[in-house]
Every structure is written in C-alpha cells, then in structure tokens.
Amino acid sequence: MKSTNEYLKILFASSLIAGITINHSAISSPLLDKVKNKIYGESNSSFITNAIDKSGPSVVTIDTQRIIRQRTFPDDSRIQLDPYFERIFGLRFPYELKQRIEKGQGSGFIFDDGLVITNAHVINNTQDLIVGLSDGRKFKGSVIGKDLLTDLAVIKLDGKGPWPKAVLGNSNTIKVGDWAIAVGNPFGLDNTVTLGIISNLNRDVSQLGIYDKKFDLIQTDAAINPGNSGGPLLNSSGEVIGINTLIRSGPGAGLSFAIPINKAKKIAKELIKTGKVIHPMIGISLLNEFNFETNKMNVKVDYVVPRSPADKNGILKNDFILKINQKSIISSNDVVNEINNNGIKKYLNILLRRNNKLITIKVKPIDIRNLPKN
C-alpha cells in the first residue's frame, strides 16, 4: 500500500504535468491541507522556490567560441578532389585554410571561490570563455582542468568576488522517488527550472550506448533542456546532488541524466590539484552474464587488450571474475569500482574461474592514457 507521502507526490506531479489547479470543492479539506502543507509548509512559498533561492544564484551561463579551420580550394580553382583520392595517389594541390568562429553555450555553477564546475563537452576545444552570473556580472574564464572520460571540467573566473556559491549535498543519501529540480540557463535564459523525481541511481552509461565515458548516472524525469548541460540537479532542500549532463529521447518521453555530486567533487579536487584525472585500468571489457542454474549474475571477461596489464599477467577471454581483493564480484560495476579504489600504485588480487578451475592472479593497473593502442 502506498504511503500518504507517495500519494501526495503523485498528486502534485500530476497536477504540474496536466496544468491542473487544485479546486477546493474537488478535494476533501483534510487531503487538501496535507497537499498544501507538503508543498508550501508553513509559508506561501513552495519548496521549489526555497530550493532555487538557496542555490539558484550560483548558476552561470558559459558562452564559448571555437575557431574551426577548414581546408578549401581557391575560389577560382576548378579542382574538386576527393581527399581519399588525393592521399592514395600522393597528389598535392594548392588549398586555402579558412577559419570560422563557432559559438556555443552551456551552464555551470560556482562551487568554490571563483571556481565553476561544468561538463567537459561544454568547454572542450574552446578558445574563449565568458561566464555570466545571475546578477548580471560577466567574467572571462580559463579552464584549469578537464576530464573527457567523466565529462567534467573546472573553470577559474578572472575577477574578484563576492561569489554566490552552491550548497553541495550528498548523492549517496538520495533515493528513487525523491524530488529532483534541474536548473540551468538554456539559450541564455537565466534560472530555467524543471521538476521531476529521481528515477534511477546507478545508470551505467554503456546501457545508453555510450562507450567512451566512464561514470554511472542519476536518471531523472526532470527535463534537461539543450543548454542546461553543466547546471545543477537539486534536491528538495536546494542542495546540489548532481550535474546535468545529457538527454536521451524515447517514444513519448525524454530521459535526463546527471553526474552524482560525490563523484564530481572527487574529480574536481583532482582537476584543481593536477589538471587531470588518473583512471586506473587493467585492459579488459566485461559482460554481465546471468546463470540460471545458480540464479546469479556472473561477470565474464569479454575482451583483453593486447599488451595490457591483464594480458601480460595471464587473464584470458571467457574467464569469470569471482573476487577482487577479497570482495565478491556481483556485476561489472563492482570490478570497475575495485580497480578505481585500488589506484595505479598497488597490485590487485583477482580470483578467476577458468574451465571450472580457480586461479589467483596479481595485476597492477595503469592509467588509461598508458594503455597500448591497438
């Protein structure tokens, strides 16, 4: 049986979606009082308004400019040559490099004095950054670190405060069904707000067809509009629990995702300190394979990168990973987490099952940048 709080959430969310106003004559007075108390408390302001008042001023607009260089033939040239044809036959014809400026826009928020966190894809390859605050001030910004694998970047503002800083929450305490408030500045519109709930806490990006990133995401039905990337996802108290990062459209509905703030805080700390992030890897890809006999999930090695630490230490395709450093492995996420927690300075003790035999192998991870290229 659903609790009163769940009914109130469903009722309130339904009224928002349908654009329905609550009619005193349509709802019994005790239930109406509970709904109003849940939304407004003892004041005339909703919890959404209070949440935005708390962290909304920290949200910024990020305007970017990239110089795009294109190779073109002179206007008076009659040459129309396929670049593949040119490379195969070793031909070289005179050409011109034309430049154009590509402008972009995204969101971010101030999380420390003069520091903004946003998505790496918002600022990647940009030559010029202008950061606009909600109070109308604008500052030039410089990227002090970015990590494309987790899609996070930190910008330092060129100026003096005071700085309106967001209140950072704890993404480990949120639950499915909690309120989620997405804030951003799409198309330069300050503090555009959408409301929804937390739909999933650990959405693996590979499930979304994304294989060049490395993080689990918070899934929400709060709409994240184009230009909202990098803005905060707030809880009902106005604390940042995630960073809006991407949208996936589906039949009849859109899915929105955010990077958990606890993960973002860790990445931001490394970017501020060194300008980069170490990603430990041993050089394997994994499959979650359900075993109907044991009614449990097994984690199988699907591919081993040649000359990688896994390859050099004897891990083979179709091996099953049972334990890492005495921790039982239930899913591929467990393997990734154990390798991350171990770092690149210590060996991993990996218990494998191969052809019904148990094998223990020691492997020392390396940074992903040092993995051999195929």
Active centre residues (catalytic): 121, 151, 229
Q: Radius of gyration over alpha carbons of the chain, in Å? A: 25
175 C-beta neighbours (distance < 10 Å), count: 8
Give residues with Cβ within 8 angstroms of 52, minimum separation 6: 181, 183, 191, 193, 234, 238
The two tokens of residue 323 are 């334990």
C-alpha separations of 71 from 76, 85, 184, 361 in Å: 15, 15, 36, 51
**C-alpha–C-alpha distance, residues 28 and 257, integer Å:** 37
Closest CA to 147 of 53, 266, 320: 266
Which backbone phi and psi does 332 adopt, to 5 degrees? -65, -30
Which backbone phi and psi does 267 adopt, to 5 degrees? -65, -45
Give residues with Cβ within 8 angstroms of 337, minimum separation 6: none
Closest CA to 155 of 39, 260, 60: 60
**C-alpha–C-alpha distance, residues 13 and 15, integer Å:** 5
**C-alpha–C-alpha distance, residues 116 and 154, integer Å:** 6
Closest CA to 120 of 90, 72, 165, 153: 153
The DSSP letter of residue 238 is S
SS3 296: strand
**C-alpha–C-alpha distance, residues 102 and 282, integer Å:** 38
